[in-house]
Homo-oligomer: A and B are copies of this chain.
Amino acid sequence: MQDKCGIVGIYSHNDSKNVASPIYFGLYALQHRGQESAGISTHNGQDLNTYRGMGLVCDVFNNGKVDELEGQVGIGHVRYSTTGSSLLENSQPFFSEFQGGNIAIAHNGDIINSMELRQELKAQGHQFRSTTDSEVICHMLSREYIKNQDMIECIKAVTRQLIGSYSMVVLVNCDLYVVRDPLGMKPLALGQKEDLNMVASETVAFDVIGAKLLRDVEPGEIILLNDKITSYKMDTSWIKRAHCMFEYVYFARPDSIIDQRDVYQVRLNIGKALHQEFPAKADVVMPVPDSAITAAIGYSRASGLPYGEGLIKNRYIGRTFIMPTQGERETSVKLKMNPIISELEGKSIVLLDDSIVRGTTSKSLIDVLKQTGVKEIHLRIGCPPIISPCYYGVAMATKKELIAANHSVQEIKESLGVDSLGYLSLESLIKCIGIDKEQLCTGCLDGEYPTELPRDLELYESCRC
């Protein structure tokens, strides 16, 4: 059910234009949001056509399929592998035929009550082919449709029942519906390039084809893209918002702009704030690449300490990789990161990382660094301790796996074997992002979740897939 993903939707007002190609490029720019599978659905006025496959966008579509997907409207999806159950059946867009015609859905987020909704639908005779939230939503829409043939009303009725995060694109015949949950948990932006309208999880998908950001899709907004653009509001009135803070800290690309905040600047701020809260006497500031690079630059600028690279990352990551056998475990970290001994030996370093989840990767990295003869390591983390699970799509870990849920900062410092450890405070993080706490989701940091939680947490966790 967990879907950490990227989505794209495009409507071309020029009926001779095929949108599969710009959707493909948009997905390519969103590849960091999911490398497990990729898919595109388009509608050419007659038929809905979908092509999906396991792997990177460029590998899935290396066979001429982009050209075969005709139509001036379409949607696309990249999916993140959260667990082992990576089946083609679970790749998106999910598509089917219902009374209203053809439907295809691509979804980013996590519906907390999808298990209950699924049971309810089954109890009404519905059948399921996948374990995705997209299929649940698809069934709900088709159930609503028999009561009311106005698709906007159907979407409103369905979203009233959804608890959780959802940014989604729904293609019903030639109409493209764009939906963002009332809390705005997952990003979703609206852009334009000449006669194309485009929505995407991040603005980098606009940049890659030269589209311009018009505005964010509003939390609780439904946009219908067809020959015109029409905006609707979900009927419950929402004041609260809950933008996921982790998009800024780690998940989004640094060159994206999310809910009017420039991710790169947020990360620079994080580095600067970390220096303010946890200055260190050291020779050099270094990031854990790639996610902490910008924060390390920020720390370096604020502290006046030189910026440097202590770890070089191997850039060539294929779809599958043969992992070293038991006896060669240490290879595993070295396959991804190699230390620059001449920059580390005898030096005191400030090491920036975006977050610590389980602590196991951090431990391996610190060990690799210590073998180089580094003198001191001052570890600085770009967000507060993660003490509670995420139920909205980040799928980080269960509570008992979270190191900070079970250990004090002092204990973590000792177990990692670093000379000092500083986590950014929540107050600072909020300032760095520049969005009020009431409008952010900080559930994983302080346990204050913006929605009800799953009724049966154990069942919920066992079903994560």
Judged by a CB distance under 8 angstroms, whether A226 is at the interface is no
Q: Given known contacts A25-B324, A122-B99, A127-B98, is B338 in contact with A309 (CB within 8 Å)?
A: no
- Interface membership of A138, Cβ < 8 A: yes
For residue A317, CB closer than 8 A to chain B, the reply is yes
A142 touches B129 (CB 8 A): no
CB pair A28–B335 under 8 Å, yes or no, is yes
| A318 at the B interface (CB under 8 A) | yes
Kindly report which residue of chain B lies nearest to residue A35, judged by CB atoms.
B316
* With known contacts A21-B325, A62-B320, A300-B306, A255–B339 Cβ distance under 8 A: yes
User: Is A322 in contact with chain B by the CB < 8 A criterion?
Assistant: yes
Cα of A96 to Cα of B144 in the assembled complex, Å: 21
Given A254-B340, A318-B56, A338-B208, check contact A123 B99 (CB 8 Å): yes
A84, chain B: closest CB distance, angstroms: 14
Q: Report the nearest B residue to A59, measured CB to CB.
A: B318
- Does A274 count as interface, using CB distance less than 8 angstroms? no
User: Is B127 a contact partner of A342 (Cβ separation < 8 A)?
Assistant: no
**Which of chain A's residues 24-77 have a Cβ closer than 8 Å to chain B?**
24-25, 28-29, 31-32, 35, 56-59, 61-62, 66
Main DSSP-derived SS at the A contact region: mixed
Task: Pick the interface stretch among A107-115, A290-298, A396-404.
Answer: A290-298
Q: Would you call A125 and B97 a contact (CB within 8 A)?
A: no
Q: Does A343 contact B (CB under 8 A)?
A: yes
CB-CB under 8 A for A316 and B57, given A125-B146, A255-B339: yes
A334 at the interface (CB under 8 A from B): yes
Residues of B within 8 A of A290 (CB): 315
Greatest chain B CB density within 10 A among A31, A99, A253, A262 is at: A99
Q: Does A360 contact B (CB under 8 A)?
A: no
- A207 within 8 A of partner (CB): yes
How far apart are A83's CB and chain B's nearest CB, in angstroms? 16
Q: How far is the CA of A210 from the CA of B324 in the complex (A)?
A: 12
Knowing A98-B126, A127-B98, A209-B331, say if A297 contacts B309 (CB, 8 Å). yes
Question: Which B residues are CB-close (under 8 A) to A339?
Answer: 255
Closest B residue by C-beta to A207: B338
- The reply to whether B319 and A58 contact each other, CB–CB distance below 8 Å, is yes
Determine if A59 and B342 form an interchain contact, defined as CB atoms under 8 angstroms apart.
no
Contact flag A301-B306 (CB < 8 Å), given A255-B340, A340-B255? yes
Query: Bound state CA distance, A52 and B290, in angstroms?
Result: 31
Q: Chain B contacts of A238 at CB under 8 A?
A: none
Contact B146 A28 (CB under 8 A): no
Pick from B254, B322, B331: contact of A58, CB below 8 A. Answer: B322
Collect the chain B residues with CB atoms within 8 Å of residue A309's CB.
254, 264, 293-294, 297
A35 to B25, CA, bound (A): 22
Asked if A244 is an interface residue, CB under 8 A from chain B, the answer is no
**Bound Cα distance from A95 to B253, whole angstroms:** 39
Cβ of A124 within 8 Å of any chain B Cβ, yes or no, is yes
- Residue A312 is within 8 A (CB to CB) of chain B in the complex: yes
List of B residues within 8 angstroms of A335 by Cβ: 25, 28-29, 208
Tell me which residues across on chain B come within 8 A of A317, comparing CB atoms. 58, 315
The contact of A264 among B144, B318, B324, B343, by CB within 8 Å, is B343
The 7 A-B pairs with the shortest beta carbon distances in the complex, nearest first, are A58-B318, A125-B143, A96-B127, A99-B122, A31-B316, A62-B320, A255-B312
- Give 20 CB contacts A-B under 8 Å: A21-B325, A25-B335, A31-B314, A58-B317, A58-B322, A61-B322, A62-B322, A98-B126, A99-B123, A103-B127, A125-B126, A129-B129, A204-B338, A210-B330, A210-B334, A254-B312, A255-B338, A264-B309, A293-B309, A315-B315
